[in-house]
C-alpha cells in the first residue's frame, strides 16, 4: 500500500468519525423526541418490532409525518350531549350484557373518531392517527376493538371486558375534548349522579368499603353505619351495681 493510499484511508476514516460525532447527538435527540411524543406507544412499537428500535422509530416517524398536522373538528354542544347520553347507555348495558356493551362501545368510538375528523376508511389509519394525538389512551381503543370481534358471550372473562371498557372510557373522554379524563366522573359526583366509570361498571370494591368479615361499613352505600360505643360516659359497660355484664 502506497503512502498516498494510506493518507486517503486515514482521511476517509476521519470524515466518517466526524460525521458520526455530528449526527450522533441529532439521532439521540430525535429518538428522545419520539419517545417523549409517543410515551407508552413508543414501547409498544418497539415490542411489535421485536426490540428493533430503529424499525420502531421509522414507523412512528412515518405516522407523525402522515397524521401530525391533522386538523380535528370540534363537536357542537348538541353532538357532545348526544354522545354523552349514548356512552351512558353503553355503560348501563354493560351490567346485563358485557359482550354487547363492548361491541357497542367500539362502534360508538369509531363514529366519534370519524366525527372528530380522524380517518374513516381504514381502521389501521384511524389507529395510527389517534396514536399520534392520543398516545396514552390509544391502547384502550385497540383493546375494545379487539374484544368487540369476539361476538360469542362467554369467550372473554368479564373482568377483561371491564378493563377494556375503562380504557375505552379514557379515549372517549379525550375525543370529547375533555381536558382531563376524570372530568366526567368529577361532574357526576358533584351533581349526585353516582360514582365514576369503575363504579358504573360494578368493579369490585367500587362505592363501598368491604370488610374481611363479609360485612359492610355502610348502611345505605353512603353513610357509615353507627356503632354503639362499648363505654357509656367513659365508664366500662357494666350495670350500676358494679356487676360486669
Range of the domain at 59: 3-67
Measured CA to CA, the distance from residue 103 to residue 91 in angstroms comes to 12
Residue 217 region by backbone torsions, left for phi larger than 0, else alpha for psi between -120 and 50, else beta: alpha
Which residue among 37, 67, 97 closes a domain? 67
Which residue among 67, 90, 116 closes a domain? 67
Asked if residues 208 and 221 have their Cβ atoms less than 8 Å apart, the reply is yes
For 154-206, how does the pLDDT look when each residue is reduced to its tens digit (9 = 90+)?
Answer: 677 889 999 999 999 999 999 997 544 444 444 444 344 444 555 556 544 44
Which residue among 18, 44, 67 closes a domain? 67
Measured CA to CA, the distance from residue 37 to residue 189 in angstroms comes to 33
Whether 144 shows a pLDDT value over 50: the answer reads yes
Q: Tell me the β-bridge partners of 236.
A: 231
Question: Are residues 48 and 141 both part of a single domain?
Answer: no
**Pick from 204, 199, 206, 137: nearest CA to 173:** 137
For 16-63, how does the pLDDT look when each residue is reduced to its tens digit (9 = 90+)?
Answer: 766 666 554 444 445 458 999 999 999 999 999 999 999 999 999 999
Measured CA to CA, the distance from residue 233 to residue 211 in angstroms comes to 29
Question: Are residues 123 and 63 both part of a single domain?
Answer: no
Question: Are residues 118 and 141 both part of a single domain?
Answer: yes
Mean pLDDT across 56-83: 94
Length of the chain: 245
Question: Are residues 81 and 60 both part of a single domain?
Answer: no
Question: Are residues 18 and 88 both part of a single domain?
Answer: no
Domain count, the chain: 2
pTM above 0.85, yes or no: no
Question: Are residues 81 and 188 both part of a single domain?
Answer: yes
Question: Are residues 159 and 188 both part of a single domain?
Answer: yes
The H-or-E segment that residue 231 falls in is strand 231-232
Question: Are residues 103 and 18 both part of a single domain?
Answer: no
Amino acid at each position: 500500500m502506497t503512502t498516498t493510499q494510506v493518507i486517503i484511508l486515514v482521511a476517509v476514516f476521519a470524515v466518517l468519525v466526524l460525521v458520526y460525532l455530528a449526527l450522533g447527538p441529532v439521532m439521540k435527540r430525535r429518538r428522545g423526541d419520539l419517545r417523549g411524543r409517543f410515551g407508552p406507544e413508543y414501547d409498544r412499537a418497539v415490542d411489535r418490532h421485536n426490540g428493533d428500535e430503529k424499525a420502531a422509530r421509522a414507523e412512528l416517524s412515518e405516522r407523525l409525518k402522515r397524521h401530525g398536522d391533522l386538523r380535528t373538528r370540534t363537536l357542537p354542544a348538541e353532538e357532545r350531549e348526544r354522545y354523552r347520553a349514548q356512552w351512558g347507555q353503553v355503560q348501563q348495558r354493560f351490567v346485563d350484557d358485557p359482550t354487547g356493551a363492548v361491541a357497542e362501545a367500539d362502534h360508538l368510538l369509531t363514529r366519534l373518531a370519524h366525527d372528530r375528523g380522524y380517518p374513516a376508511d381504514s381502521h389501521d389509519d384511524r389507529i395510527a392517527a389517534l396514536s399520534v394525538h392520543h398516545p396514552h389512551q390509544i391502547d384502550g381503543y385497540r383493546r375494545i376493538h379487539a374484544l368487540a370481534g369476539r361476538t360469542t358471550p362467554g369467550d372473554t372473562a368479564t373482568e377483561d371486558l371491564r378493563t377494556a371498557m375503562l380504557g375505552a372510557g379514557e379515549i372517549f373522554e379525550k375525543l370529547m375534548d375533555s381536558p382531563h379524563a376524570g372530568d366526567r366522573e368529577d361532574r357526576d359526583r358533584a351533581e349526585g349522579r353516582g360514582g365514576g366509570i369503575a363504579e358504573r361498571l360494578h368493579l369490585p370494591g367500587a362505592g363501598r368499603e368491604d370488610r374481611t368479615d363479609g360485612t359492610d361499613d355502610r348502611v345505605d352505600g353512603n353513610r357509615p353505619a353507627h356503632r354503639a360505643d362499648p363505654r357509656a360516659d367513659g365508664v366500662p359497660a357494666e350495670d350500676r351495681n358494679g356487676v360486669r355484664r
